[in-house]
Every structure is written in structure tokens, then in C-alpha cells.
């Protein structure tokens, strides 16, 4: 049985890919010709829609292409010098005519942006959301005309994480956009309200092949991840997900490295219940989710056990909706039952 070894991995604080990662030109993103052609055409014929929806799991290249086109959307007919000045403001996140909305965590009554939580290495037991309070910022932002550009731009990152109230507020705003262009970034269009999708021009981003993803990771300083094909396969063509998985694996190793081995399930039920408590209390939501996904991948590649995959998927869907410790206990007991260990409590 395949037992991956991560003992060689050093503990590293992985920087999150910046929302505005640097690219010099579109030739550096050869794998995304369709999005670049669609955006170039819309700008060239001056028919920019009210809203774009960038879809696909490849967050890095969505952000890179967005960064390249933002100055062109803001200053369509201005000089190259004006475009460069605009690009400089975007680079430092200080353009007055761009509002960037991203998921946030609610902690002690305060909203903490996902990017800030990542930079400060803050962990939470719940998943981030885009909340109605953040969408209200859009109304305030659009209450005044553009300061330096011909149009204002609102970017909503991880739009699939909008809660119900936020999603309906965005829909209402899309019906009356004013002098603004909306750009929504989401992993899958199906995760958004159909009425939101119908008001957007969809720009599809393809997942990268293993070789393309390895190239991107190496270019961004993550060559060590490329030595672990299981991580690359789990990432499903997304360099960001590859880094998230590796970060989660290192956190998991810190509390119990046996969690990454299928031999972990050979323990007595009493030991599994202790592990359930440890995992629920020691790992943040993202790491718990990736541990379940990691087990799914291992059970599928080594056993092709569909029932175990379904048990793990049910646990992923239930996290944060009930006591996480209870979710883990039920999950591990069901997996033990599938392995014929239901009576081995002592």
C-alpha cells in the first residue's frame, strides 16, 4: 500500500499568491488564450459588459490576467504613460476607482479579511464568507463618480463564498450597475445564483496540466511541491490549491504525522475517538477540509472504495454545520465499520 512520506518537508510559512501577482505580458500566461482573447476583443470594440464572471479553479492566473487588463478597462483610450501610472497604483492596492471585495472571517464582532488572516497566520474553525456588510461597501463606493478613470471597477474574489444575503444584494446591484464594471471570480458558475450568472459575461479559465502547474509553481518559488505528485493530482490544475494542500499537510504533521498514513485507521476505536477530538480542536477549518480530501484521494487511488469516499464527502459537507468533534467521531466510526473494526473498541 502506498504510504507517502512527508518527513523531508521543512516547515515553511507559505506566502499566499498575491491578488495582483506580477506578470510582464500576456505571453507569460500561454495556457489561458481564450480568456485573453475574449477580454482583448471586448476592449478593442469598446463593448465591455456590465459584469464579467471569471470561472475556474486556477486562481493565480485569474488574478494575473485581471491585473493585466484592469488598466485597460479603467483607461481604455489613454496614453501608455497613463496606463503605467494606473498599473503602479493597482500594484500597491491604492487605485481610487477599484474596490476589491474578498471573503472574511467574523471574530469577536470584527471582520478579518482572508488575505490578512493568511499574512498574520491566523486560524479559524469556520470557513470565510462574503457578507452583506461587505456588499454594502459597494453602494458607498459607487455613490460618487470615478476620480481618475472613465469607470469604476468592483472585484469580488471567491464570489461563490457570498452568503445568501450578500448574493441577493449583489444581484440587485447588477440590475442597476451605474457607471461601474463588476468582475466576479469564482471556481464554478454553478455555485452562484443563476440570475447572477445570466447578468455576466462568463470568461472560462482552464485547469492546468500537471506539467503546466509544475512550471507555475517553480516560477513562483514552490518547486518542492512538484516533488509530491499526490499533491499535484489533488490540486486539480490549481497552483493555489497545491500550496493550500501542502500548508495543510504541514499543519497536520505538527499534531500527528500518522494522520497522513492509511495505517492510521488500523487503531482501536477508542484511539480514533481521541484523534477525532484532537483534529477538531487543533486544526483550522481549511486544514480539516483538506485532511478529509486527502483521505478521499488515498482511499480512491489505493482501494477504489466508493463508500468510504461518500462517508468523507458527507463529513466535508457537515463541517461547521454541527459540532466538528461530532462530525469527526461519526466519520471515523463509519470508516472503522467499513474496515471491519466496529467491535474493536478496547
Query: Got the DSSP string for 99-159?
Result: EEE--EEEETTEEEEHHHHHHTT---SS--BB-HHHHHHHHHHTTS--SSSSSEEEEETTG
Q: 172 near 139, Cβ under 8 Å? A: no
pLDDT of residue 8: 30
Q: What's the chain's Rg over C-alpha atoms?
A: 22
CA angle 79, 85, 89 (to 5 degrees): 145
Domain(s) of CATH 3.40.50.300: residues in the chain: 26-204
Instruction: Evaluate if residue 153 carries a pLDDT over 60.
Output: yes
- This prediction's pTM: 0.74
The CATH architecture to which 26-204 belongs is 3-Layer(aba) Sandwich (3.40)
Round the average pLDDT of the chain to a whole number and report it. Answer: 83
Instruction: Evaluate if residue 313 carries a pLDDT over 50.
Output: yes
Compute the distance between CA of residue 318 and CA of residue 304 in angstroms, rounded to an integer.
Answer: 23
Name the β-bridge partners of 111.
Answer: 106
Compute the distance between CA of residue 293 and CA of residue 336 in angstroms, rounded to an integer.
Answer: 17
Residue pLDDT, tens place only, 194-247: 999 999 999 998 888 888 888 888 887 888 898 888 899 998 888 888 988 988
Burial of residue 344, with CB atoms counted within 10 A of its CB: 0-12 exposed, 13-18 middle, 19 or more buried: middle
Mean pLDDT of 167-192: 92
Compute the distance between CA of residue 26 and CA of residue 24 in angstroms, rounded to an integer.
Answer: 7
Q: How confident is the model at residue 29 (pLDDT cuts 50, 70, 90)?
A: low
255 φ/ψ angles, rounded to the nearest 5 degrees: -95, -35
pLDDT of residue 185: 95
Burial of residue 106, with CB atoms counted within 10 A of its CB: 0-12 exposed, 13-18 middle, 19 or more buried: middle
* More confident site: 33 or 289: 289
Mean pLDDT of 127-154: 91
Can you spell out the DSSP letters for 313-329?
HHHHHHBTTB-HHHHHH
Q: 260 near 249, Cβ under 8 Å? A: yes
3-state secondary structure of 10: coil
Compute the distance between CA of residue 118 and CA of residue 104 in angstroms, rounded to an integer.
Answer: 11
What residue ranges in the chain does DSSP mark as E strands? 51-55, 98-101, 104-107, 110-113, 152-156, 180-186, 201-204
Q: How confident is the model at residue 7 (pLDDT cuts 50, 70, 90)?
A: very low
Compute the distance between CA of residue 216 and CA of residue 326 in angstroms, rounded to an integer.
Answer: 39
Percentage of residues in the chain having pLDDT higher than 90? 36
3-state secondary structure of 72: helix
Highest mean pLDDT among 116-120, 121-125, 142-146 belongs to: 142-146
Listed in sequence order, the residues at least 6 apart from 298 whose beta carbon sits closer than 8 Å to its beta carbon are 2, 230, 262
Going by their DSSP bridges, the two strands 51-55 and 110-113 should be labelled as unpaired
Cell of 239: 497552483
Instruction: Evaluate if residue 322 carries a pLDDT over 80.
Output: no
Residue environment code for 250-287, b if the CB has 16+ CB neighbours within 10 A, otherwise e: bbbbeeeeebbbbebbebebeebbebbeebbeebbbbb
Amino acid at each position: 500500500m502506498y504510504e507517502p512520506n512527508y518527513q523531508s518537508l521543512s516547515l515553511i510559512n507559505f506566502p499566499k499568491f498575491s491578488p495582483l501577482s506580477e506578470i510582464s505580458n500576456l505571453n507569460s500566461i500561454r495556457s489561458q488564450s481564450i480568456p485573453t482573447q475574449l477580454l482583448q476583443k471586448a476592449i478593442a470594440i469598446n463593448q465591455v459588459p456590465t459584469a464579467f464572471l471569471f470561472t475556474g479553479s486556477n486562481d493565480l492566473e485569474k488574478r494575473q490576467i485581471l491585473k493585466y487588463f484592469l488598466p485597460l478597462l479603467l483607461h481604455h483610450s489613454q496614453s501608455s504613460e497613463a496606463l503605467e501610472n494606473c498599473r503602479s497604483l493597482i500594484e500597491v492596492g491604492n487605485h481610487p476607482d477599484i474596490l476589491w471585495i474578498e471573503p472574511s472571517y467574523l471574530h469577536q464582532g470584527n471582520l478579518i479579511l482572508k488575505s490578512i488572516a493568511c499574512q498574520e497566520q491566523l486560524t479559524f474553525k469556520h470557513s470565510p464568507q462574503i457578507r452583506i456588510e461587505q456588499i454594502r461597501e459597494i453602494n458607498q463606493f459607487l455613490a460618487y463618480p470615478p476620480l481618475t478613470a472613465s469607470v469604476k471597477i468592483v472585484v469580488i474574489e471567491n464570489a461563490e463564498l457570498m452568503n445568501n444575503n450578500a448574493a441577493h444584494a449583489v444581484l440587485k446591484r447588477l440590475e442597476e450597475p451605474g457607471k461601474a464594471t463588476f468582475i466576479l471570480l469564482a471556481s464554478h458558475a454553478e455555485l452562484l445564483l443563476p440570475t447572477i450568472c445570466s447578468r455576466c459575461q462568463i470568461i472560462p479559465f482552464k485547469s492546468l496540466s500537471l506539467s503546466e502547474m509544475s512550471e507555475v509553481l517553480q516560477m513562483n518559488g514552490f518547486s518542492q511541491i512538484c516533488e509530491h505528485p499526490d499533491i499535484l493530482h489533488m490540486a486539480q490544475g490549481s497552483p493555489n490549491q497545491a500550496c493550500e494542500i501542502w500548508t495543510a499537510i504541514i499543519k497536520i504533521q505538527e499534531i500527528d504525522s500518522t494522520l497522513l498514513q492509511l495505517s492510521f485507521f488500523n487503531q482501536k476505536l477508542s484511539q480514533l475517538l481521541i484523534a477525532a477530538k484532537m483534529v477538531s480542536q487543533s486544526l483550522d477549518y481549511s486544514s480539516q477540509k483538506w485532511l478529509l480530501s486527502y483521505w478521499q484521494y488515498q482511499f480512491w487511488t489505493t482501494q477504489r472504495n466508493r463508500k468510504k469516499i461518500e462517508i468523507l464527502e458527507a463529513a466535508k459537507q457537515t463541517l461547521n454545520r454541527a459540532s466538528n468533534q461530532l462530525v469527526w467521531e461519526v466519520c471515523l466510526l463509519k470508516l472503522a465499520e467499513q474496515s471491519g473494526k466496529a467491535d474493536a473498541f478496547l
